[in-house]
Amino acid sequence: MQAAIAGNETAYHGLLLELSRWLRTRLRARLLQTGHGDADTEEAVQETLLAIHLKRHTWRRDAPFVPWVAAIARNKLVDQLRRRHRRAEVPLDEMLDDLPDTPQPEQTSATRDIGHLLNLLDERQRAIVLGVAIEGRTAREAAVALGMSEGAVRVTLHRCLQRLARRIREEQT
Amino acid sequence: MKTDELLNLLAADRITAPAPAQQLLRTLLPGVAVAITLYLIVAGWRADVIASLSSPRFIFKLAINAALILAAGALLLRLTRPEAITGKLRIPLLLILAALLIAVTTELLLLPQATWWQAAHGHNSTWCLRLIPTFAAAPLAATLYTLRRAAPTRPAMAGAVAGLVSAGIGGVLYATHCPDDSPLFVALWYGLATALVAAVGALAGARILRW
């Protein structure tokens, strides 16, 4: 995380990947208990990762990392459970029968996927987001492709992420 | 969008907000400047403010508000973090409350019973209730704004603590204006004003500090 805050993108990407696996395993266990599926898990994983990313300045270098991540995950899990509150309850036995055997859950697409929220963005923003996300471009490559400065691409990207987070929060209230 | 795709996006975003303590400083300084400006326009210091520095009651009045700023401020910074454990940081706030109770008891013992009500009621009680929240408003906006950009997981509590910090700032300013120094007056009216600002902070926090 220190390397990530210092701007090392490769280290940060690696950390996020590891976090996504850790979160998937933990959140899935909790969400299955309450009758949620893999798509809900993926949604919670994505929202937690986004929150970790946008709130990373609240982690202190001298503080342990895991409790900080766990607190954010718990906060997002509570949101998720609250949102699905209206759903019909599944009896416990039935739920346990459905438990798949695979210990390490596979990655699935989220139901109310962050991707749907891309509709909020204008054409240029969407081009940047999709270029970086799907084609795996760096900010510089996206800048060259769109004829923008790298700084402008980074600022746009950051604003898009903040906007997604704001939209997720609005949908909860 | 797949999670791996989201990871590409997040890793490409290098813009990090400043640490909460730094943000608090940046927002609170203008907030306090607004409060001081309001203070100078509508109140101003009382004529005997220098002479009063030798009065234990006046010093107590200032000190307890200043202590509130520090104690609540430390707690506020803790609450900017999602994993915040308030634990020991609540103790200074309890000590402030204890100091207030001791001062009130001492004052009751010192003053004849016939003058208790006069000391508690003072000259300026309604102004106290109006001006402390007025001076606290800009600092409250500043602290809530900082919290909003941080990651508090207990929104109402964080908002209430932001209210305590702001009421302390309002209290220090008002203390140099108000002619009433008795701890009875301070406990009653400053206490009410502080509770009011904390309640506003808690209500606002519960609404705007979710993320």
Q: Residue A37 is encoded by which pair of tokens?
A: 């599926």
The ipTM, to two decimals, is: 0.85
- The predicted-structure confidence for A53-106, as pLDDT tens digits, reads as follows 999 999 988 888 999 999 999 998 888 787 766 444 444 444 444 444 444 555
User: According to the model, what pLDDT value does residue A85 have?
Assistant: 63
pLDDT at A116 over 80: no
Residue A9 vs residue B180, higher pLDDT? B180
- The predicted-structure confidence for A146-156, as pLDDT tens digits, reads as follows 889 999 999 99
Q: Residue B106 is encoded by which pair of tokens?
A: 């001492």
Interface membership of A77 toward B (CB under 8 Å): no
Interface membership of A171 toward B (CB under 8 Å): no
Choose the weakest-confidence range: A30-34, A128-132, B12-16, B206-210: A30-34
Closest chain A residue by Cα to residue B9: A133
What is A113-173's CATH number?
1.10.10.10
User: According to the model, what pLDDT value does residue B124 have?
Assistant: 79
Of B1, B12, B84, the CB nearest to A115: B1
Domain boundaries, chain A: 1-111, 113-173
Q: How far apart are CA B35 and CA B127, in angstroms?
A: 16
What is A1-111's CATH number?
1.10.1740
Interface membership of A53 toward B (CB under 8 Å): yes
* CB contact (8 A) between residue A55 and residue B211: yes
| CB neighbourhood size of B109 (10 A) | 7
| Residues B141-161, mean pLDDT to the nearest whole number | 96
Of B6, B13, B16, the CB nearest to A157: B13
Mutate which of B13, B16, B85 to test chain A, going by most A C-beta atoms within 10 A?
A: B13
Q: How far apart are CA B105 and CA B37, in angstroms?
A: 36
pLDDT at A30 over 70: yes
* CB contact (8 A) between residue A132 and residue B2: no
pLDDT at A114 over 70: no
User: According to the model, what pLDDT value does residue B52 have?
Assistant: 86
| Mean pLDDT estimate for chain B | 94
Of B1, B10, B151, the CB nearest to A72: B151
Are domains A1-111 and A113-173 of this chain identical in fold?
no
- The predicted-structure confidence for A125-141, as pLDDT tens digits, reads as follows 888 988 898 888 888 89
Cβ neighbors of B202 (< 8 A, separation 6 or more) are: B156, B157, B159, B160, B163
Q: Show residues of chain B in contact with A16, CB under 8 Å.
A: 7, 10-11
Which among B8, B62, B58 has a CA at the least distance from the CA of A130?
Answer: B8
Interface membership of A61 toward B (CB under 8 Å): no
Interface membership of A90 toward B (CB under 8 Å): no
Closest chain B residue by Cα to residue A71: B83
**Residue B46 identity (one-letter amino acid):** R
Buried b (16+ CB within 10 A) or exposed e, A3-15: ebeeeebebbbeb
Mutate which of A28, A42, A54, A58 to test chain B, going by most B C-beta atoms within 10 A?
A: A58
Report the run of H or E that residue B203 belongs to, with start and end: helix B191-208
User: According to the model, what pLDDT value does residue B25 have?
Assistant: 95
Interface membership of A121 toward B (CB under 8 Å): no
